[in-house]
Each structure stands twice: as C-alpha cells, then as structure tokens.
C-alpha cells in the first residue's frame, strides 16, 4: 500500500530511460508517482549526438529526439495540460549511463529552457536504497570551500594554476548578502588533502564547495580530482576514494557543489559529471557539477544567484533553475552548463530561517523559555510526552495512514485524513480489532520498504518491535545523529511517556547502555491481567540508568491495548477518568510534579486532546501544574488558530506557565539539543 506524502507545490514528473533493447531505449513517464503512461522508445541514434554550439537549436532538437515517439509526446502534452507546475526528474538507469553525456539541461520546449523555467525545476534523479535523514533544521548553514591549487599543476600536467584571490572572491561575494546567523563560510587551509577534508567534514558542514581541476578516463569510466599531498604538489584523488571517504562519515553534506575553476579544461566537466553519481550513491542528497567550461562571469553570477535563492527556500532544484534563469537574463550562453544530480524527489534540503527555528509563543521570551526547560531537564524534573509525529522518515503520520486506508477501503465520508474516524469505519464493518492489526501491518511494511536491502532481516518478523530489534537501532539510525528518540535518550531522564505503540524510545535508550522497562497502560479491564513492574516490585522507582517507557495508548506487544478508533478513545476517557488508579501512582505524581514536555502533536490529533481531557484535566483537579512546554506541528488548518492556542491550553493547565513551540519536532529537538550541548558540564 502506498502512503501518500504531504502536498507539494509542484506535480512530480519522472521521465525514466531504461537500458537499451532491440527497439531502442524504453522510456516511461509517471505523474505524481501514480499515473503511469504507456511506454515509448528513444532511438539509440541519440548516442551519436553532436552539438552545433547553438544552445536553443540544440535544445529544440534534443526535445524533439526525446519525444519523437508519438506515445511519449502525447504523454508529455497531457501532463503539461494537467500540471502547469511540474518538477521534472530525468531518471537514467545504470545500463543507459552513456546518456548522461548528453546535455539534457538544454531541453527546450514551449519557447523556454526547461531547466531555467520557474514552473519546471529540473534534475537528474538517482534513487538509492539508503535512508534520508531529512532536511537541516539548524542555523546557521555551514559552507566549507575547498580550493585546490597544487604547486605542480603547470609543470607536471600542463594545467594553468588557479587565481586563488579571484576564486575566493567569487564565493565570498556570492554569500555576502547573507548574515552570519544565516550562513557561515570556511575555507579549508592548504594543503587541501583528502585527510584534511575528511577531518573538516566531521565538524558537520552542510555544503561542500569544491573548486579545482579534474580529469576523466572514458575507457575506465574513472574520474579524478587534482587535490594536494602534504607537500603541496598534486595528489590525484579518484572518485572511488572520495566516495568511500564520504561513505564512512556519519553525516554527509546536504549538497556538494563541484565548481570548475576559471582555468579548467573541458576534461574537468567530464570528471565532475562522472564523479557526481558516485557521490550521490553513498548518500549525498544533491550534487551540482559543471558539464563544460564556464567563464568567470558565469561562475560569479551562478554562485551568487544559486546560493541566495537556495538559502532562502531550501529547494535545490528550484534554486538552480532560478540561477540558470538569472544567467539567461545576463545574456550568458552557458546557462545550461550546471547539472544537478539528486537522490531526493522533493529537492528540499532545508526550510527557510523561520521554518528552521520555529516560533515560541507565550508571555515569556524564547531565551527564558529555553532556560526554564533546561533547568528542569538538568534536575530530571521533566517528563516528555511523545506523540505520533516524531518518526520522520521511518513511519507515516496518522494523516497519511488515514488517507491510504480511505482510498484502499473506499471510505465514504469527507474526513478521510482523520485516522480515528477511518479506523472506526473499519472496526464497524470488519470487526473491532481489524484496524488494529491493519495498523501494525501497515507500519511494519512501511518500515521494511524504507530499509536498504542490506538491513532487511532474512526471516519474517512478527511485529514492528521485532523488526527494529533485528535490524538494530544503531544500524537503523546510522547517519542520523539528530534522530528524535536518540536526542531524547541523551537527556538522561527517568520517565518517558508516549502515545505511540512502537519500541523506538526503548531501543534508543538501550543503545545508550541503559536498561529500560517498557510498560503498557491497562486502560480497560481486559488488560488487567498484564503484569506491572510497580506491582511486581513495590520498591521500583525509575532512574536515568533504568528508565521507564510508559505506553499510554498501548503497544504492538498487545494488540487489544491499542487506542485507535473513535470508540477506543471514548472508552479510554471514561475508564481513565473514573479509575485514575489505572495509571500507576508514580506516573501520576511525575506528571503532576514535573515540567511536561509535549512533542510530536498537532492540535487536531485525538491523542493530544484525549490526553489533555482524560489525564491532564483530571489530575489538575487535585494538583496545579507549574510549567508546560508544548511543541505543536504547524499546519495549514491550525495556523489560523495561532492566537487561540494559548487560551485553548490554558483551559486544561489553568494557572500553569505554558510555552508553545510552533514548528516541527525536528526543529524543536534541534534547538533543544543545541541549548543542551551548550550547557557547562
């Protein structure tokens, strides 16, 4: 089953070219990942492509050749009519890699260059089976520039040395309009060796900008970069060596920009084109390369426009289209030289500054908000309550599951994005426990589909928790140091409450050498047979070394414990409100006597509202909460209620000091981690 993703401004169009067969290169076009058009064929004669030097004429000829098959041209025409704004991804299979040598960025249709038009962001798509850790939430964005100018370039290789001053000025001026809070620029000190580059990248740079010479051996299909040895002379670094170094890193740059130096030959363009796919193959989200020589003026204009636009909205393909457009406006003939290789479908490397930081609401200023929260964390007097929107890449949100189920099971009502309603419909028609089993299966299948082949267990797993255990938490989150559960585990708290059913929090704690206990809320009588450590060991008190992960709405270890459909939520409200002893005394006390930190919720989530009504409101009749921090997902539907959020929460927490962080969970955790790490130890 396909889990739909959030709506995007552009319709997704994939043009996939397969390995050559007798009829030619098969070509398939897909719209929005679902609407597949009939297969057409590209003539192998295109391999003998010879440019004329007229970019516009060549672009028209290239378009006519690609869409010479009437089936493909009809598909393109239909898509153009359905989606004026379309993200065009050219996917060339490995068996057709020779086609990468063609200047696809010159494709010209409807009197415009597709790769420079605002409504057709263009990239060469290289899908890989490695998890994507998500966009960068931190600021400032960090750029590492590497300008390689070996001393023996001219004497040993007949290559002109670089003008170091000019190359630095191009990049400095490109970023000069952005403040230090938005972006920082560092230059790797000479000699620029591979070892020094590796050490620098460990510091967490978001962008690597390379300027230098390169070469490409067509027969061996091998690219090399002219870097330096410790003596300052040339050290040829092969594409394999560079890719292997990056593969060893926990965190990759989000973007690698391979900029030909102003003295570069056309061999450099071939080298960069050959290198870029290998860098993407080890997990780099996006690589920009030059497929030909570029002039000083073009390089200056390209860098300035591209980086300014990228740092504004974070969409790398859109930013490069905008930069190419700026080159055309400046009458530059080489606007189609930059090539974007990308493993992402959305092109979103990060959000805007406001998106990255989120917004702190309330009467207190943000600094006081963080200070108060950190103080309670240091004392171990903070209780996280973890919601369904913390899983990021690995698991779909409740809204996405609901939409998928609505389509699969022909849900007849308009609220198709509300999981409790859809689950209630399924429970009424197919049995009380049907949606519970369906949810567990959906989540497990989705996680399995996201795993790279080498991580998938050979044997079938009985549950999501078993799958996570067999894969191994460390392997699952490799390359994702800011994964939410990892950051929460690093806070060394004794108690973690969650409305999720998965074992992610428990696994993250175990990976840090802790011995957590996982327990389920016995919210109805059919669960009374479940054991509780509080009953088995009356002296048990959770500690940071032996923390408790308490599942308020059930876990995948006991299907009947899951709170999913409308009736489940209503029953939960009735039972827990009437019989508070169903929540262990220790947990009730911890909730009432510590700061609460809600994260991973939206105002519309039933999980959030039921916890407020059934647990918080009942406890607040007896004790007064002092401090509550709430991270809420910002969505189109609740942005209009921004001014009412504080009042809404005050109804439940009454006299408590309430601070709301309006933004995503990764944004909140990135800022919390930044503040936490800055504390003196």
- Tokens linked to 522: 């016995």
Distances (CA, A) of 248 to 254, 277, 544, 630: 15, 17, 32, 37
Whether 621 contacts 655, CB under 8 Å: no
Q: Residue 262's pLDDT is what?
A: 44
pLDDT band at 3 (very low <50, low <70, confident <90, very high): very low
Q: What is the DSSP code string of 616-640? A: IHHHHTTS---EEEEEE---HHHHT
Q: Residue 558's pLDDT is what?
A: 96
Least confident span in 242-251, 344-353, 385-394: 344-353
pLDDT band at 657 (very low <50, low <70, confident <90, very high): low
- Higher-confidence residue: 479 or 611? 611
Q: Residue 244's pLDDT is what?
A: 87
Q: Residue 223's pLDDT is what?
A: 82
Q: Taking residues 377-383, what's their average pLDDT? A: 88
Three-class secondary structure of residue 54 per DSSP = coil
pLDDT tens string 450-495: 787 788 898 899 999 999 999 999 888 876 667 889 989 999 999 9
Domains of the chain: 11-123 (no CATH), 141-350 (3.40.50.1460), 358-393+483-678 (3.40.50)
Average pLDDT over the chain, rounded to an integer = 84
pLDDT band at 356 (very low <50, low <70, confident <90, very high): very low
Parallel, antiparallel or unpaired: strands 234-238 and 222-228: antiparallel
Q: Taking residues 233-261, what's their average pLDDT? A: 84
Q: Residue 394's pLDDT is what?
A: 81
- Higher-confidence residue: 644 or 225? 225
Whether 206 contacts 254, CB under 8 Å: yes
Q: Taking residues 293-302, what's their average pLDDT? A: 77
Parallel, antiparallel or unpaired: strands 338-342 and 286-290: antiparallel
Q: Taking residues 337-364, what's their average pLDDT? A: 69
Report the range out of 266-275, 536-545, 665-674 with the highest average pLDDT.
536-545
Whether 332 contacts 301, CB under 8 Å: yes
Q: Residue 159's pLDDT is what?
A: 84
Q: Residue 264's pLDDT is what?
A: 44
Helix (H) or strand (E) holding 426: helix 419-430
Three-class secondary structure of residue 185 per DSSP = strand
Q: Taking residues 554-578, what's their average pLDDT? A: 95
Q: Taking residues 333-362, what's their average pLDDT? A: 73
pLDDT at 134 over 70: no
Strand partners, 14: 30, 89
Q: Taking residues 111-135, what's their average pLDDT? A: 82
Q: Taking residues 55-66, what's their average pLDDT? A: 94
pLDDT tens string 395-430: 888 988 999 899 899 999 988 889 999 999 999 999
* Cα atoms in the 13 Å half-sphere on the side-chain side of 608: 19
Q: Residue 354's pLDDT is what?
A: 40
pLDDT tens string 24-46: 999 999 987 778 889 999 999 99
Q: Residue 122's pLDDT is what?
A: 95
Least confident span in 258-262, 285-289, 469-473, 533-537: 258-262
Q: Residue 4's pLDDT is what?
A: 37
pLDDT band at 637 (very low <50, low <70, confident <90, very high): very low
Using DSSP, how many helices (H) and how many strands (E) does the chain show? 26, 25
pLDDT at 56 over 80: yes
pLDDT tens string 197-245: 998 988 889 999 998 888 877 777 678 889 999 999 999 998 888 988 8
pLDDT tens string 156-191: 988 888 889 988 988 888 888 777 777 899 999 999
């Amino acid at each position: 089953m396909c889990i739909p993703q959030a709506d995007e401004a552009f319709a997704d169009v994939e043009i996939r070219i397969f390995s050559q067969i007798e009829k030619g290169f098969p070509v398939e076009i897909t719209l929005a990942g679902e609407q597949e058009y009939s297969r057409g064929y590209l003539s192998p004669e295109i391999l003998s492509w010879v440019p004329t030097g007229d970019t516009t004429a060549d672009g028209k000829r290239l378009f006519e050749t690609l869409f010479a098959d009437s089936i493909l041209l009809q598909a393109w025409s239909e898509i153009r009519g359905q989606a004026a704004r379309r993200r065009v991804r050219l996917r060339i299979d490995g068996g057709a890699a020779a086609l990468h040598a063609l200047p696809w960025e010159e494709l010209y249709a409807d009197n415009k260059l597709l790769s420079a038009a605002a409504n057709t962001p263009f990239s060469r798509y290289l899908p890989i089976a490695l998890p994507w850790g998500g966009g960068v939430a931190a600021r400032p964005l960090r750029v590492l520039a590497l300008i390689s100018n070996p001393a023996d370039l001219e004497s040993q290789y007949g290559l002109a040395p670089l003008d170091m001053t000019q190359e630095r000025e191009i990049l400095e001026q490109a970023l000069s309009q952005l403040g230090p809070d938005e972006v920082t620029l560092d230059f790797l000190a000479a000699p620029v060796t591979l070892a020094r580059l590796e050490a620098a990248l460990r510091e967490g740079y978001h962008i690597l900008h390379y300027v230098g010479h390169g070469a490409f051996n067509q027969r061996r299909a091998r690219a090399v970069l002219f870097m330096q040895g410790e003596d300052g002379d040339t050290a040829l670094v092969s594409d394999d060596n560079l890719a292997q170094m990056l593969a060893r890193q926990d965190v990759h740059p989000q973007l690698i920009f391979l900029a030909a130096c102003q003295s570069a030959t056309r061999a450099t363009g071939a080298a960069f084109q050959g290198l870029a796919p290998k860098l993407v193959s080890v997990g780099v989200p996006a690589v920009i390369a030059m497929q030909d020589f570029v002039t000083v003026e073009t390089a200056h204009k390209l860098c300035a426009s591209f980086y300014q636009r990228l740092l504004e909205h974070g969409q790398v393909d859109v930013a490069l289209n905008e930069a190419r457009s700026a080159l055309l406006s400046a009458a530059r003939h080489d606007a189609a030289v930059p090539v974007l290789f990308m493993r992402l479908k959305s092109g979103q490397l990060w959000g805007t500054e406001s998106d990255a930081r989120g917004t702190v609401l309330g009467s207190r200023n943000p600094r006081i908000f963080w200070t108060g929260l950190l103080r309670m964390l240091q004392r171990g007097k903070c209780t996280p309550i973890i919601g369904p929107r913390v899983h990021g890449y690995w698991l779909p949100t409740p809204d996405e599951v609901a939409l998928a189920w609505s389509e699969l099971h022909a849900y007849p009502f308009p609220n198709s994005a509300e999981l409790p309603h859809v689950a209630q419909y399924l429970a009424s028609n197919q049995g009380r426990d049907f949606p519970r089993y369906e949810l567990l299966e959906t989540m497990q299948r989705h996680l399995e589909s996201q795993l790279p082949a080498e991580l998938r267990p050979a044997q079938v797993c009985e549950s999501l928790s078993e799958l996570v255990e067999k894969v191994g938490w460390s392997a699952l989150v490799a390359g994702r140091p800011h994964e939410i559960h990892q950051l929460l585990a690093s806070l060394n708290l004794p108690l973690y409450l969650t409305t999720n059913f998965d074992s992610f929090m428990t696994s993250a704690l175990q990976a840090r050498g802790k011995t957590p206990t996982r327990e389920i809320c016995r919210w109805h009588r059919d669960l009374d047979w479940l054991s509780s450590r509080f009953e088995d060991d009356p002296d048990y008190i959770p500690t940071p070394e032996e923390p408790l992960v308490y599942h308020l709405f059930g876990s995948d270890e006991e299907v009947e414990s899951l709170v999913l459909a409308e009736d489940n939520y209503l029953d939960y409200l009735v039972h827990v409100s009437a019989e508070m002893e169903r929540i262990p005394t220790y947990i009730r006390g911890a909730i009432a006597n510590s700061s609460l930190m809600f994260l991973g919720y939206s105002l519309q989530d039933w999980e959030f509202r039921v916890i407020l009504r059934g647990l918080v409101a009942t406890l607040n009749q007896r004790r007064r909460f002092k401090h509550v921090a709430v991270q809420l997902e910002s969505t189109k539907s609740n942005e209009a209620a921004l001014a009412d959020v504080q009042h809404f929460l005050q109804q439940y927490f009454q006299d408590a000091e309430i601070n709301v962080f309006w933004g995503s969970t990764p944004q909140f955790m990135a800022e919390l981690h930044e503040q936490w790490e800055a504390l003196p130890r």
